[in-house]
Amino acid sequence: MKKIFYRIFPEKEGIIPFLYIANLVFPLFFLFQESQEKLLIGLILMAVLVVAYRQAYWSSQHILAFVLVQLSIILVFGFMYDPLYIYMIFIPVYQIVRLPIQWMYVVCGLFTFFSLILIYQVVLSGEYYTILNLGPPLFGGSILPFMIKGSIKYKEMSENLRRTAEELEKKNREMTRLEESKKQMLADISHDLKTPITTIQGYSRALYEGVVSDEDQTEKYLKYIYDKSIRVTSLIDELFMFSKLDSPDVPIQKELKDICEFYRGVIVEHFDLFEEKKMELDIDIPDEKIMVRFDPKLLNRAISNLLQNTNKYNPESTEIYLRLFQTETSIFIEVGDNGVGIRDDIAQTLFEPFVRGDKSRMNDGGSGLGLAITKKIIELHDGTIQVDTSPNRGKTNFIIELPIE
């Protein structure tokens, strides 16, 4: 039954078209009181009106023509049968509302003009009671459509203002959250920079003032200084890279390369890191060449960030899943593991700047920019990156999708 109704009028219209067409009940009742000749002509006219009414909903681009057909038939009934038949104007009134405002003026103006002529004829005939009854349809065809349209416009404006206010509030909350996160992370970075610099100053001063005379101790101090300088350089490098990628005119130099061989090369670069923690690598990369245009330096940086995070935040003997596969339109690069996993609440903001995978790690050597840098690099390649915290295998899976140009 529902399907039959939706064949009569579009499903999105609901029951409104049926409610308006119900205004034909009383005109039909009075039409059957007419002579047989008038009844036949009236039924034909009403059938045309119903068809035009229905088509106005299905053919919105021709709605003006169908509304004019209905208007003409209503006026014909008013002049040829009885003036009270213009009550049928309430049938197409909702369709009149859907017309552009300039055509609403034309349609309502025409109806008002002919209705006034009809009223004038009634005045001449002295049927004053009929004149009073013609007030509602005159109002319905001349003023009511504008009132309905105004009400709809007001509702739309109110809804738009509400949505705009909600979006602004959401953006303000997001900006506030990011600003707080940024301030906190900048404070952490300042602390992370200050700590190694203080260490460097302390050890170098000890060496300079000759406090340390033992050769082994001197070598140990020099090793501390070197390691801390590498740490400082790494932090500054990440800040510089993030700032560079944040620029709208960041240069990207794509080359046509075999992405399978490229991914293998990036994995080899980090093989020692995984071997140190006795991590088991499960690599699934096609043997055949897959030629893709990408910036090798930037993409190396993006994938390296994922591999380094996987190594850093997981315990020894963790299984690492490294996969690459192709569809008709995209290349997918996956970095997964069965390690400690990532909480869902952190996963939602993991790719935002100044966010760390574990907020409790204040001395983990991370700046909170690594994954944000990775995301920006992938987006520069018109790709996407997401994290699956409940994959089919393991506990975490980072998925990079790159389009095939």
Question: Of 259, 203, 207, 198, which is closest to residue 232 (Cα–Cα)?
Answer: 198
Tokens 């002295």 correspond to 126
Summarize pLDDT for 206-235 with one digit per residue, the tens: 888 888 778 888 888 888 888 888 878 878
Summarize pLDDT for 319-375 with one digit per residue, the tens: 999 999 999 999 999 999 999 998 888 888 888 776 655 543 334 555 668 898 999
CB 346 within 8 A of CB 312: no
Contacts of 218 (CB under 8 A, 6+ apart): 207, 212
Give the model's pLDDT for residue 363.
Answer: 46
Q: How far apart are CA 224 and CA 221, in angstroms?
A: 5
CB 75 within 8 A of CB 121: no
Q: How far apart are CA 331 and CA 399, in angstroms?
A: 10
Task: Give all domains of the chain, ordered by start, each with its CATH number.
Answer: 2-142 (no CATH), 178-245 (1.10.287.130), 255-403 (3.30.565.10)
Do the bridges between strand 330-337 and strand 319-326 make them parallel or antiparallel, or are there none, so unpaired?
A: antiparallel
Work out the average pLDDT over 38-56: 90
CB 24 within 8 A of CB 88: yes
Contacts of 261 (CB under 8 A, 6+ apart): 289
Tokens of 77: 């009934």
Q: How confident is the model at residue 27 (pLDDT cuts 50, 70, 90)?
A: confident
Tokens of 270: 């980090």
